[in-house]
Structure formats: structure tokens, C-alpha cells
């Protein structure tokens, strides 16, 4: 991996797991689940406090709230081992301030700001959300149960043409929330999360997967986030040695 990427991952791991020091008493999954599962009550509370019971507010509550419930279901049936790490209270606070809490900017804008999205935008957002949830949940389930049975590359099903369909699905569904809001701030949050969290995770995962002998052929016929329309030939061993030497 690139030295700058390695340095960023180390800094991010410190901010998330060991910030301010002290014992690691909290599971990161507890912190994430609190935000995900708390989204529906949070949005409904905003609606009750402001008296905003508009169709846009209700639809947003249903979309983002149902995703939180889907996440809790996923965590109970096929949890991500990466979220089982223990973190300090400072790390948990950072997770909220730098990522999780920022996701609630969109509902605040919609409910408190009284944003009314046109029906066509709500329809498109709902369509993107539904597809995103299916792709994210389905690919995470496939990866969990396949790797539970046998370690190695997962190259069929959701992963047949896209190497990171779980990230694609999550980007789609969070993009749908920003679309409902119709405001630049949620998109800025997503740009931050996708650039500082998703992209480094993807690059780290690709570096890890490259140790498998079938990686070159798999990478040649797939896209990282979008399906590759025209698969290119896998590099030969000589070409790989030349690239590594350069």
C-alpha cells in the first residue's frame, strides 16, 4: 500500500480505537448500532418537537429508519467481524463526531428546515434506496456465509462483476437520503465519509486480496464499485513483475 495510505489508516485507527487513551471497554458495533437503531426514534422525535408531519418527513423517516432496523437485523444474523473490535470512550466519541452523528444532518435539515421534496425526487430516492439495501445486505450475507465455510476470494453472485458491492449498496442508500434532503450539506458529509473511510477501506481490502493467485484475473474482469462493461485481459506473470519492478 502507498505510505500515505498506511499513515492515514494508522491515524484513523488511533482516533477510532484509542483516542484519549484508557481501557477499550466498548465494542465498536455497540456504538454503530446505537446510531443506526436510534435513527427512527430520532427522526420521529424531531417531527414531534417541530410539529412537522409532512410527507417528505414521513418518507425520510421510513427510509432511513428502516435501514437502521435492517442493520440491526444484519448485525444479529451475519455481523461484520471488523466492528467487533473494542474501543475507548474517546474512540467512541470520535466515531460519533466524525462519522455517525454527521448522518443525522440530513433529517435535521428536512424536519427542522421544513424541506419538501417533489414527488419525482422522492420516487427516485426510494428506488435507489431499495436497490442499495438489497445489494448491501445481500452481498454482506454472501460474503459472511461463504467465508465462514471457506476462506478465499468470493468471485460469484454479487461479487461476479463488482469487487465491493457492499460499499456500492451503502453508497446508494445513503445517497438516496441526501437526495431526499436536496441540500449540499449531506452530500458534503458523504464526500468526507466516502473519501476518508470507504476509499481507504477498499484500497486496504484490495491489497489484502491481491495475495491470492486468482486475483489478477478477477480484477481484470470486474470493477471496484461498478460492473466492468468490457473486461480486459489479466496481466501475465511477466507483466506483473515488470509493473512491480517499476
Q: What is the CATH number of the domain that holds 83?
A: 1.20.120
Angle, in degrees to the nearest 10, between helices 28-50 and 89-98: 50
Q: Cα(47)–Cα(69) distance, rounded to whole angstroms?
A: 19
Output the pLDDT for position 48: 98
Q: Number of folded domains in the chain?
A: 1
Average pLDDT over residues 107-130: 98
H/E element holding 83?
none
pLDDT above 70 (res 52):
yes
**Residue 237's pLDDT band (boundaries 50, 70, 90)?**
very low
Reported confidence tier of residue 241, pLDDT bands at 50, 70, 90: very low
**Dihedral pair phi/psi, residue 51, rounded to 5°:** 70, 20
CB 36 within 8 A of CB 68: yes
Helix residue ranges per DSSP H, 99-160:
105-112, 119-149
Answer whether 47's CB lies under 8 Å from 57's CB. Answer: yes
- Residue 239 pLDDT more than 80? no
pLDDT at 5: 85
The parent domain of residue 33 ranges over: 3-245
**Whether residue 243 has pLDDT greater than 50:** no
CB-based contact 16:94 (threshold 8 Å): yes
Global pTM reads 0.90
The larger pLDDT score, comparing residue 122 to residue 7, is at: 122
Amino acid at each position: 500500500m502507498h505510505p500515505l495510505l498506511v499513515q492515514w489508516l494508522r491515524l484513523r485507527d488511533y482516533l477510532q480505537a484509542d483516542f484519549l487513551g484508557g481501557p477499550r471497554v466498548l465494542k465498536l458495533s455497540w456504538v454503530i448500532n446505537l446510531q443506526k437503531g436510534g435513527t427512527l426514534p430520532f427522526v420521529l422525535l424531531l417531527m414531534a418537537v417541530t410539529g412537522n408531519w409532512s410527507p417528505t418527513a414521513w418518507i425520510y423517516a421510513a427510509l432511513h429508519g428502516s435501514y437502521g432496523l435492517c442493520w440491526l437485523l444484519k448485525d444479529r444474523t451475519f455481523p461484520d467481524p471488523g466492528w467487533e473490535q473494542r474501543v475507548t470512550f474517546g474512540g467512541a466519541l470520535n466515531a460519533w463526531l466524525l462519522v455517525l452523528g454527521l448522518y443525522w444532518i440530513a433529517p435535521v435539515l428536512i424536519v427542522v428546515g421544513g424541506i419538501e421534496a417533489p414527488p419525482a425526487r422522492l420516487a427516485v430516492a426510494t428506488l435507489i434506496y431499495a436497490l442499495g439495501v438489497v445489494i448491501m445486505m445481500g452481498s454482506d450475507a454472501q460474503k459472511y456465509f461463504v467465508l465462514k465455510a471457506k476462506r478465499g476470494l468470493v468471485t460469484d453472485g454479487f461479487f461476479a462483476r463488482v469487487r465491493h458491492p457492499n460499499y456500492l449498496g451503502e453508497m446508494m442508500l445513503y445517497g438516496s437520503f441526501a437526495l431526499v434532503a436536496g441540500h449540499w450539506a449531506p452530500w458534503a458529509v458523504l464526500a468526507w465519509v466516502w473519501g476518508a473511510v470507504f476509499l481507504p477501506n477498499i484500497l486496504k481490502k484490495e491489497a489484502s486480496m491481491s495475495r491470492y493467485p486468482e486475483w489478477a484475473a478477477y480484477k481484470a474482469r470486474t470493477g471496484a464499485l461498478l460492473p466492468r462493461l468490457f473486461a480486459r485481459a489479466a496481466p501475465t506473470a511477466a507483466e506483473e513483475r515488470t509493473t512491480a519492478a517499476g
